[in-house]
C-alpha cells in the first residue's frame, strides 16, 4: 500500500528517526503507526548488536540526591562522541535514569535494566531506543547508591567523573557539612581510592604487592649485604605507604593545608561527622569505578589523574587539589 507523507511525518515526530527509515517501517506495518514503531524498535535491537563492539569513551554522569539529603545516586552513561553526549535526548535519558535509580534502588545491573522508566518501557528498552535514534554505541557504564545521614556529591566540570560520600552524624543541609562533603567528593575524583579503610582492602592485593617489593629488594645489589629481617622491615614500611595510598580514610586529604589524612581532617573539621561510605564513577573506558557499596559496574582499570592537573607523589599517589567547579 502507498504510505502518505502525513503518516511518515507523524512517525518521525514520535521517534526522531530519519524519514526513509520511518517510511520503510510503515510499509512493513501496512501503514499502522503502532506496528511501525515496533518495527523500528526491532531494527534498533539489530543496530544495538551491530554497534556494540565500537568504543564508547564519551558520555555523561547523572547525579541525584533526595530532598532530605540522605540518599544519593550516580550513574555513568557512555557514548562514542561528544556531539551525542551534548544531545538533548541523551542528556534527558541520563537524568531520567539516575532519578529512576534513586527511586527504585535496583540491586544490580540486571535489575536496573528491567526497571521501568517514567515514560514507559524498561531501562533496557530506553537504551535500545536511544541507540536506534542516535546511531551510536550507548551503554550504562556503572551506577552506585549511598544512603547515610548526609550524602554529598562532587561532579567534575566535564560531567564525566564524580565522587560521592556518605556521612554519619550530620545533615547535608548544614553548610559546613555540605562544603566538607563536596571537598571529599573532589578528593575522590582526583585520588581514586580503592577502598574505605585498610580492613576493606583485599589481602591478596597486599600480599602480591609485598611479594613483588620483597623480590625487588632482594635483587637490588645495594641490599646484597643486608640481613633478610632488615629487608622485611624496609618492605613493611613501603607496604604501609602503599596501603595508605589505597585507602580513602588514610589518604592525604587534598584540601587540607596541614597534610592530614582524610580521617584526621574530617575529625578536626568541627562538623561532628564521620565518613562511612564513598564511591567514584566515570564514563571513560580508562577510568575506574571504586566504591564501598556493592553495585554493578562495568569493569575498568583505575583512572589516571592528568599530570598537569594533579601530579602524583611517590607511594601514596596524593594529588594536588584541583580548582573547584560549579558542579
Strands 161-168 and 150-155: antiparallel
The strands making up 139-147's β-sheet, listed across from edge to edge, are 58-65, 71-79, 139-147
* Largest CA-CA distance found in the chain, in angstroms, rounded: 92
| Nearest C-alpha neighbor of 184 from the set 250, 259, 243, 262 | 262
C-alpha cell read off for 235:
618492605
What region, left, alpha or beta, does residue 3 occupy, with left being phi > 0 and alpha being psi -120 to 50 degrees? Answer: beta
Rounded to an integer, what distance in angstroms lies between the CA atom of residue 47 and that of residue 78?
A: 16
3 state SS of 320: coil
Rounded to an integer, what distance in angstroms lies between the CA atom of residue 209 and that of residue 212?
A: 5
Tell me the H-state helices in 227-273: 228-246, 262-267
**Does residue 288 surpass a pLDDT of 50?**
no
Q: For the chain, what percentages of helix, strand and coil (3-state, to nearest 5) are there? A: 45, 20, 35
User: What confidence score (pLDDT) does residue 58 get?
Assistant: 87
Q: What are the structural domains, with CATH classification, of the chain?
A: 5-51 (1.10.8.10), 58-198+247-291 (3.30.479.20), 202-244 (no CATH)
Band (pLDDT 50/70/90 cuts) for residue 143 is: very high
**Does residue 319 surpass a pLDDT of 70?**
no
> With a threshold of 0.95, does the pTM exceed it?
no
**Does residue 52 surpass a pLDDT of 90?**
no
Rounded to an integer, what distance in angstroms lies between the CA atom of residue 237 and that of residue 230?
A: 11
Band (pLDDT 50/70/90 cuts) for residue 53 is: low
Q: Which of 60-64, 120-124, 176-180, 273-277 has the lowest mean pLDDT?
A: 120-124
Rounded to an integer, what distance in angstroms lies between the CA atom of residue 26 and that of residue 7?
A: 8
Amino acid at each position: 500500500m502507498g504510505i502518505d507523507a502525513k503518516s511518515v511525518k507523524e512517525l518521525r515526530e514520535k521517534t526522531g528517526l530519519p524519514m526513509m527509515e520511518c517510511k520503510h517501517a510503515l510499509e512493513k506495518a501496512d501503514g499502522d503507526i503502532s506496528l511501525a514503531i515496533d518495527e523500528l524498535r526491532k531494527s534498533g535491537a539489530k543496530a544495538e548488536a551491530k554497534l556494540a563492539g565500537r568504543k564508547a569513551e564519551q558520555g555523561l554522569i547523572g547525579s541525584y540526591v533526595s530532598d532530605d539529603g540522605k540518599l544519593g545516586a550516580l550513574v555513568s552513561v557512555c557514548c562514542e562522541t561528544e556531539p551525542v553526549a551534548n544531545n538533548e535526548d541523551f542528556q534527558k535519558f541520563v537524568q531520567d535514569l539516575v532519578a529512576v535509580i534513586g527511586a527504585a534502588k535496583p540491586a544490580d545491573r540486571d535489575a536496573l535494566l528491567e526497571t521501568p522508566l517514567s515514560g514507559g518501557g524498561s531501562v533496557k528498552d530506553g537504551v535500545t531506543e536511544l541507540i536506534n535514534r542516535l546511531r551510536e554505541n550507548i551503554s550504562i557504564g556503572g551506577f552506585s547508591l549511598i544512603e547515610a545521614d548526609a550524602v554529598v556529591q562532587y561532579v567534575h566540570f566535564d560531567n564525566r567523573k564524580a565522587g560521592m560520600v556518605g556521612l554519619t552524624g550530620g545533615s547535608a543541609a548544614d553548610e559546613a557539612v555540605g562544603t566538607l562533603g563536596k571537598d571529599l567528593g573532589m578528593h575522590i575524583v582526583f585520588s581514586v581510592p580503592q577502598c574505605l579503610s585498610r580492613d576493606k582492602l583485599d589481602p591478596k592485593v597486599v600480599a602480591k604487592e609485598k611479594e613483588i617489593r620483597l623480590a625487588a629488594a632482594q635483587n637490588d645489589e645495594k641490599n646484597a649485604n643486608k640481613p633478610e629481617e632488615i629487608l622485611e622491615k624496609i618492605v613493611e614500611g613501603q607496604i604501609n605507604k602503599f596501603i595508605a595510598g589505597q585507602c580513602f580514610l588514610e589518604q592525604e586529604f587534598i584540601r587540607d593545608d596541614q597534610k592530614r589524612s582524610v580521617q584526621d581532617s574530617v575529625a578536626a573539621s568541627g562538623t561532628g561527622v564521620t565518613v562511612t561510605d564513598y564511591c567514584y564513577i566515570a564514563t571513560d573506558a580508562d577510568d575506574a569505578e571504586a566504591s564501598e557499596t556493592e553495585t554493578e559496574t562495568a569493569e575498568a582499570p583505575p583512572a589516571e589523574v592528568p599530570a598537569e592537573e594533579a601530579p602524583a607523589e611517590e607511594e601514596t599517589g596524593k594529588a594536588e587539589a584541583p580548582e573547584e567547579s560549579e558542579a
